[in-house]
Structures are given as C-alpha cells and as structure tokens.
C-alpha cells in the first residue's frame, strides 16, 4: 500500500476546475492582465477586479450528520484533505457533527436561536414539520434568488424543477437536496438459494411468487445443513420495506388519487389488502418474529450470515450483500456449486410496482440570520456548488491519491482503504470519512457517480440495470409538494404518520385486532389528517 502523498495531479486539476467553475477573482485577475496588454481598461473595472481579488475569505459554520460514531475526518491526512477542500471551494469551514439520532433535536434547538444558527444546516428525510414552520417565519434564505445563475453555480443551477417543488415553501426554495436515484427501491434475493429450491422469480413476479420464495427459504432448508435456521425475509424496526410491499398491491406511495382527489394510501382498500399480505408473512414465520426490536444498524446482517435470503429496500444494499459474499475475507460458497461464490439478484419491481424515492433524501438549508449578506450567501452556495465537481467528489469520497487511492494503468481509481477488515485500511479511510455528507450530488446522483473515474464491474452494472428497470415502475408520491404547503401537516403530520406506522406494526404482529387498527386510523383522521387531506387538495 502506498503511504506517500502524491497530490500534484489533484492540485493541478483543482486549479483548472476553479477556472471552469467561475472563480471570479482568479478569472478577473487573469483577464485584466490580458486586457492590459492589448487595450486600455477603465479605472472602475480595475478597482472592481482588485476588490474582488482581495475580498475576505468567509468562514462558514455547517452542521453535518455524523454516521461514523465521531471518527469523521480524523486520520493522519485529514487536515491535508480539509485544506485542499477549503482552498478549492474558497472558504473556511467549521464542521459541527451531529449524531443521526440526535439530528432532529439539535436542529430544533438551533432554530430557537436564530442569531447563532449554523450557516449551513443538514437535515434528514424530506421537508416537513419544524422546517416548514421555520421557513414560513423567514428562517432560511430563498435560494430562488441565487442558484439559477448557471454561470456562478453550474451544478446547483441544474436542480430538477420537480425536486425543487418538494423543497419550496410559500413560493420560496428553502433547501438544496441530497439527490438520490428515483428508481432505487426493490427486492433483492439470494440466487443460489432460489436456484436450489426452484423458486427464482419470473420476469413479472406477483406477490404470490414472492410468498412462495419466502416460504421455501424459511422451511425448505435452502442452505442444506439440515437445521431449521433460516427465515425468508430480512426485517428490522425500520418498516420501510412494508411501504414497498404495499405498492405491489396498487395503493401507491404515501398518497394516491381516488375519484379525482388525493388521499392517503391507508384510506384505500388496496392498502388493507397489502397489510393482510404482510401480516400473513409474519404469521407464517417468513420474517423475524422480533423484527420490531431489531436495530437498524445491523440490517443486512441476516442475509450476510445466511439467516435470510430476501432483502427489500434499496437495491444498492442488495449489491453490497453480493459484494460481501465475494469478498476475500467473507467468501460465501454457493449452495449449488461450492467452487463459486453466492450471489444476489437485484430484482426491483413486483407486480409492476415499486416505491419511488422523492428524488432526494436529506437536504441543506442556509440560515437567513447568520448568512446576513449576499457575500456570505454566495460563499456558502459556491462551496456547495464546487463540492459537486469531479475533484471534490473524488476527494470527499476517496481521499488523497497515493494515500487512500491510486490509479491503475487504464486511469481508473483503485481504492487502497476499502478493506474494512484491515485496521490499517480503516485508519486510512478516517482521513476523509464523513465528508460525503457535505455533498448534494447535483445535478443527479447518477451524473455525480459518472464524474469519477471508478471502473465499472458486474456489481455496479447489475445495480444500474436494476435502477433503470425499477424506474419504469416506481410509484411517486403525488402529494409530496402539496404536503410542504399544508399548515396542519407541518404542525402534526410527522407525529400522525408515526402513529399510523406504529398502528400498522401492532396489527401485523397481532397485538391489536383489525377493528382496533381501523379505529386508530379513524382517530388519526380526526386528530388532524382530515384537515391535511383538505389542505393538500385545495392546492391542486
């Protein structure tokens, strides 16, 4: 493994990209010198160029999601990486790391002290609740006034109008998304188990086909060890997979159009058909009986260790399970041919349906109180824009050339710290770990991935093919942009949604009857959801 620091190429590329991305000071200095050699310039123009060239570099505070238990950017080369990042983006950054499970509380607390709010704030999920209320009170910069300038912000200005609508409150664009593939959700399954038991999913699989696979994976000894130690489907306390399964029955994503009006899916017959199906999976032992208490941080471990054979969520997780099967330290033999590794099929939609993402997961807001001048706002947006460049996508996700990665003979990145079982490699990864949480991945996550010279392999090829297939059948939430504009939803919507999810889990696990489940949903309507439905439809 190379230990020396080789950053000449990266530094050279950064200089070139700065010019391409509109580094006003550098560009104007250069053009001013060229013009002086050929023509007379005005004193005003010279003064403007000089002022911009000597403008004070801004220091920006930024709250960032910590998914790495506090070891973000803590390696031996972390300071070198941050210096390169700050110099490239033209600002100094003070990163404030918030644990994911404390993010909502920390952000809510920050909103109560506008004068000390982080200038850039990271949020999880989609725009709801506190964010909408704060936006209505003017807490955030209206980005419509800035980001559509393609010359200043070549990446941010390519934001999808559909995604922008989901981040707009009272006509103001109050956030930038962390973009995601729309057709990202689906079903992945262990190919060798399915082949051995003869339950591979056909091209147009139905929910019954999936049930038969899960039953076989649970009761027909797919690993051939003669022990009753397998359960068909992986599941934890995160019940997002149930939302995917619901789409298989045609009830849509969150909301659905019914008789010309938008209605929550839990008000439809298709929803209850789907919930009965999920309950049968649970009652028949095809998912872990204790799923509701299993932590999400161990998700996918069941598939990796051979407890489960089906994983329902993002298709890239199915890819990572497959990579685990083939990794040198965790090589998992196929039950069909022990000389070959096990593999996963990234299947995607079932019955012609799957869940679409919102086009983003998490977002960034800019504080209107602590970014109190155009210069500060533009400095923050310049950072967010330049982080989308190939140079910064590489630096924040792969670290330093010669330390964290190198290029092969074809010019593709070879990751030197990808081995998570190697303590030296893990320590090297700490150089840049967590910095990917600064990225918007604009204009799209696909284009951002394609901007880096990472060699394609069978895993990524299968993932991209599954994404493209799922996209054709992905059900979008037709009410998402209207929910942002619902006053009642901003106040109580998140809490009511959590109550609905909890009631569904209780019914699936048998702790309440169907009548009690329906009574809970009726009560939730009276607590505010009827008003939400009315407010959503009033905006159409």
Q: Where are the domains of the chain?
A: 58-181+360-450, 185-355
Residue 196 burial (CB count, 10 A): 18
For domain 58-181+360-450, give the fold.
D-Maltodextrin-Binding Protein; domain 2 (3.40.190)
Q: What 3-state DSSP class applies to 141?
A: coil
Lowest mean pLDDT across 49-53, 97-101, 159-163: 49-53
Q: Within a 10 A sphere around the Cβ of 522, how many other Cβ atoms? A: 12
Give the mean model confidence (pLDDT) for residues 79-93: 98
C-alpha to C-alpha distances, 200 to 203, 343, 439, 454, nearest whole angstrom:
10, 13, 38, 32
pLDDT band at 267, cuts 50/70/90? very high
Query: What pLDDT is recorded for position 496?
Result: 96
Rg for the chain, CA atoms, rounded: 25
SS (H, E, C) 134-179: HHHCCCECCHHHCCCCCCCCCCHHHCCHHHHHCCEECCEECCEEEE
State what percent of residues in the chain have pLDDT above 90: 79
Q: Which residues contact 421 (CB under 8 A, 6 or more apart)?
A: 329, 330
DSSP state of 170: T
Highest mean predicted confidence (pLDDT) among 43-47, 325-329, 388-392: 388-392
Residues forming beta bridges with residue 66, ordered by sequence position? 99
Q: What is the pLDDT of residue 445?
A: 87
Encode pLDDT of 525-538 as tens digits: 999 999 999 999 99
- pTM assigned to the model: 0.78
Pick from 25-29, 116-120, 150-154: least confident: 25-29
Q: Would you state the pLDDT for residue 55? A: 63
Does the pLDDT of residue 52 top 70, yes or no? no
pLDDT, mean over the chain: 89
What is the pLDDT averaged over residues 361-390?
97
Closest among 201, 181, 182, 179 to 190, alpha carbons compared: 201
CA dist., res. 288 & res. 264, Å (int): 28
Q: Is residue 11 predicted with pLDDT exceeding 90?
A: no
Class of domain 185-355: alpha beta
How do residues 434-485 score in pLDDT, each as one tens digit? 999 999 999 988 888 888 888 888 999 999 999 999 999 999 999 999 999 8
Question: What pLDDT is stored for residue 40 in this prediction?
Answer: 40
Q: CB within 8 A of 354, min separation 6: which ones? A: 183, 185, 186, 244, 247, 248, 348, 470, 473, 474, 475
- For residue range 489-505, what is the model confidence (pLDDT) as tens digits? 999 999 999 999 999 99
pLDDT of residue 349: 96
Q: What is the pLDDT of residue 419?
A: 77
Tell me the two tokens of residue 408: 């092969």
Instruction: Tell me if 58-181+360-450 shares its fold with 185-355.
Output: yes
Q: Can you tell me whether residue 200 is helix, strand or coil?
A: coil
pLDDT digits (tens, 9 = 90+) for 133-172: 999 999 999 999 999 999 999 999 999 998 999 999 999 9
Answer yes or no: is pLDDT of 249 > 60: yes
Spatial separation of the C-alpha atoms in residues 394 and 411, rounded to whole Å: 13
DSSP 8-class letter at 335: S
Interval 205-236: pLDDT, tens: 999 999 999 999 999 999 999 999 999 999 99
The torsion region of residue 202 among left (phi > 0), alpha (psi -120 to 50) and beta comes to beta
């Amino acid at each position: 493994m190379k230990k020396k620091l080789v950053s000449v190429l990266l530094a050279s590329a950064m200089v070139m990209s700065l010019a391409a991305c509109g580094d006003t000071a550098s560009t104007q200095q250069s053009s001013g010198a060229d013009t002086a050699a050929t023509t007379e310039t005005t004193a005003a123009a010279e003064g403007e160029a000089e002022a911009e060239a000597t403008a004070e570099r801004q220091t920006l505070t930024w709250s960032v999601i910590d998914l790495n238990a506090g070891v973000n950017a803590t390696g031996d080369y972390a300071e070198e990486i941050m210096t390169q990042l700050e110099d490239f983006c033209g600002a100094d950054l003070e990163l404030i790391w918030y644990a994911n499970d404390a993010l909502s509380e920390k952000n809510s607390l920050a909103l109560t002290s506008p004068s000390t709010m982080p200038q850039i704030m990271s949020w999880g999920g989609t725009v709801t609740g506190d964010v909408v209320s704060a936006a209505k009170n003017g807490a955030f910069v209206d980005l419509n006034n800035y980001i559509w300038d393609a010359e200043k912000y070549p990446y941010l200005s390519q934001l999808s109008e559909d995604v922008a609508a989901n981040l707009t409150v009272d006509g103001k664009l109050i956030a930038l998304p962390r973009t995601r593939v729309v057709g990202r959700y689906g079903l992945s399954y262990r190919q060798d188990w399915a082949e051995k038991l003869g339950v591979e999913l056909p091209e147009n699989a139905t929910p019954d086909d999936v049930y038969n696979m899960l039953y076989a994976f649970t009761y027909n000894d797919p690993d051939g060890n003669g022990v009753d130690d397998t359960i068909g489907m992986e599941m934890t306390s995160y019940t997002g997979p149930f939302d995917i399964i619901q789409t298989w029955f045609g009830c849509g994503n969150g909301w659905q159009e019914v008789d010309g009006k938008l209605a929550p899916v839990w008000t439809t017959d298709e929803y209850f058909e789907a919930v009965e199906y999920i309950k049968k999976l649970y009652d028949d032992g095809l998912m872990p009986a204790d799923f509701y208490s299993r932590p999400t941080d161990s998700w996918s471990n069941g598939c990796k260790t051979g407890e489960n054979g089906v994983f329902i969520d993002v298709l890239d997780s199915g890819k990572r399970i497959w990579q685990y099967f083939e990794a040198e330290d965790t090589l998992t033999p196929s039950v069909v041919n022990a000389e070959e590794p096990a593999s996963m099929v990234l299947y995607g939609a079932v019955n012609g349906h799957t869940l679409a993402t919102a086009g983003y997961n998490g977002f960034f807001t800019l504080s209107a109180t602590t970014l109190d001048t155009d210069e500060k706002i533009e400095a923050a947006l310049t950072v967010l824009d330049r982080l989308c460049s190939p140079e910064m996508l590489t630096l924040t996700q792969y670290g330093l050339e010669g330390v964290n990665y190198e290029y092969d003979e074809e010019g593709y990145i070879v990751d030197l710290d990808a081995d998570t079982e190697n303590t030296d490699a893990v320590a090297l990864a700490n150089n840049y770990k967590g910095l990917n949480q600064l990225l918007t991945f604009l204009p799209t996550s696909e284009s951002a991935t394609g901007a880096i010279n990472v060699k394609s392999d069978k895993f990524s090829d299968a993932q991209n093919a599954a994404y493209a297939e799922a996209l054709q059948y992905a059900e979008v939430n037709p009410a998402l942009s209207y929910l942002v504009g619902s006053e009642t939803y901003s106040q109580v919507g998140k809490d009511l949604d959590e109550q609905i999810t909890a009631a569904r889990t209780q019914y699936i696990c048998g702790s309440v009857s169907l009548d009690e489940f329906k009574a809970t949903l009726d009560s939730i309507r009276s607590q505010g959801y009827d008003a939400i439905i009315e407010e959503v439809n009033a905006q159409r």
